[in-house]
Homo-oligomer: A and B are copies of this chain.
Amino acid sequence: MSTIRDVAKQASVSVATVSRVINQSGYVHIKTKERVEKVIKQLNYQPNDVARSLYKGRSKMVALLVPDIMNPFFPQLARAVEDVASKYGYTFVLCNTDDEKEKELAYLNALRQKSVDGMIIVSSKLSQEDVSDITTPMIALDRKISIDIDLVTVNNQDGAQQAVRFLMQKGCQRIGHICGPENASSSKARLKGYLDVVKNEPWFSSGYIRSGKYGFEAAFEATKKMLTEHPDIDGLFAANDLMAVGALKAAEQLGYRVPDDLSIIGFDGIGIGKATKPAITTMAQPIYEIGATAAEMLITRIQDTTIPITEKELRVKLIERGSTRVS
């Protein structure tokens, strides 16, 4: 790996001049510029990003922290963030936190020490004080972290209401809810939306709610328990699609026919929902757009840290498929 000094020597100029050529800054004679460029090509010189980062205090890297890389929602999101990041010349770093506060804090630290320029965070565990001393630009995604951090979400509560009402329209009389982790704001909003619709129903009790922690396995178990305890349930609203698939599998195992005996609706709109049979009816989020929006916001904030905190809410959309009964 040759350095700027090697180039300078070869081209019989100072490092300052080479630097000017590289960065297209300041004046440099066309003749010398050509000479330097030739040497650069000859030596296949590439500026060392680490040295640059040290000097500038910036690294041209952005990170995305997600709780579960195995949930297809997040790869799709990651894809979007990466696209935008690389569009602006940023290197993209993906970090998986397992929804554990400790790992999240460890990453926050590691990334700061690496002078990462910005982060997009999906976290149920972090709170205001955990991030109050962090000056690196941050965007919260899907789940609110603190009032002074930008946020990108969807109309969760409203979407959940729509989902539950849809089940009712289709004739469901007893609707259960598999909710996400209790600390996640998205999960809380969806639960709220569910409650808005059903809490005054005569049949409703807290037994109609169980946590699936946004995961397949937990949802599978939760559904089995719920259906066993409340065999009268004929509709199920899962707070995400991964859990909806878990619920579907659980229902099948218990001998339910979906959607004849039980209608299931999910949330997210991930690809796997189309692979099951029946395919999962869902409140689809514009996942790619969410990621791209967050990434754009992040880069805007990196470029100007003084802009006011904003919250952006995108909209979900019902996609009807086979897991809900027809009328």
Taking each of A54, A109, A216, A252, which has the highest tally of chain B beta carbons within 10 Å of its own beta carbon? A54
State whether A92 and B94 are in contact (beta carbons under 8 Å apart), knowing that A46-B113, A245-B275, A249-B275 are contacts in the complex. Answer: yes
Cβ B70 vs Cβ A96 within 8 A:
no
Q: How far is the CA of A227 from the CA of B95 in the complex (A)?
A: 42
Cβ A115 vs Cβ B48 within 8 A:
yes
Minimum C-beta distance from A278 to chain B (A): 8
- Nearest chain B residue, comparing its CB with the CB of A277: B277
Query: Of A24-32, A76-84, A164-172, A193-201, which stretch is located at the interface?
Result: A76-84
Cβ A47 vs Cβ B113 within 8 A:
yes
State whether A49 and B113 are in contact (beta carbons under 8 Å apart), knowing that A69-B75, A69-B78 are contacts in the complex. Answer: yes
Interface residues on A, range: 35 or more
- Nearest chain B residue, comparing its CB with the CB of A95: B92
Q: Mark A144-156, 1 if CB is under 8 A from B, else 0.
A: 0000000000000
A38-95 residues with Cβ-Cβ distance < 8 A to B are 44, 46-51, 53-54, 59, 61, 69-70, 72, 74-76, 78-79, 82, 91-95
Cβ B79 vs Cβ A271 within 8 A:
no
Cβ A50 vs Cβ B59 within 8 A:
yes
- Nearest chain B residue, comparing its CB with the CB of A90: B110
Report if A272 contacts B (CB, 8 A): yes
Q: Residues of B contacting A277 with CB < 8 Å?
A: 252, 276-277
Report if A9 contacts B (CB, 8 A): no
Report if A114 contacts B (CB, 8 A): yes
Report if A101 contacts B (CB, 8 A): no
Report if A112 contacts B (CB, 8 A): yes
Cβ A94 vs Cβ B93 within 8 A:
yes
Partner of A271, one of B48, B92, B216: B216
Q: Mark A213-243, 1 if CB is under 8 A from B, else 0.
A: 0001000000000000000000000000000
The 9 A-B pairs with the shortest beta carbon distances in the complex, nearest first, are A277-B277, A94-B94, A49-B113, A69-B75, A50-B53, A49-B114, A50-B54, A93-B93, A50-B115
Residues of A within 8 A of B (CB): 44, 46-51, 53-54, 59, 61, 69-70, 72, 74-76, 78-79, 82, 91-96, 109-115, 133, 216, 245, 249, 252, 271-272, 274-277
19 more CB-based (< 8 A) A-B contacts, given A50-B59, A50-B113: A46-B113, A47-B113, A49-B110, A49-B115, A50-B50, A50-B53, A61-B114, A69-B78, A69-B82, A70-B72, A70-B76, A72-B72, A72-B75, A91-B114, A92-B93, A93-B94, A249-B274, A252-B277, A276-B276
19 contacts between A and B (CB under 8 A): A44-B133, A46-B112, A48-B113, A48-B115, A49-B110, A49-B114, A49-B115, A69-B75, A69-B82, A72-B72, A74-B75, A82-B95, A91-B110, A92-B93, A249-B274, A249-B275, A252-B277, A272-B275, A277-B277
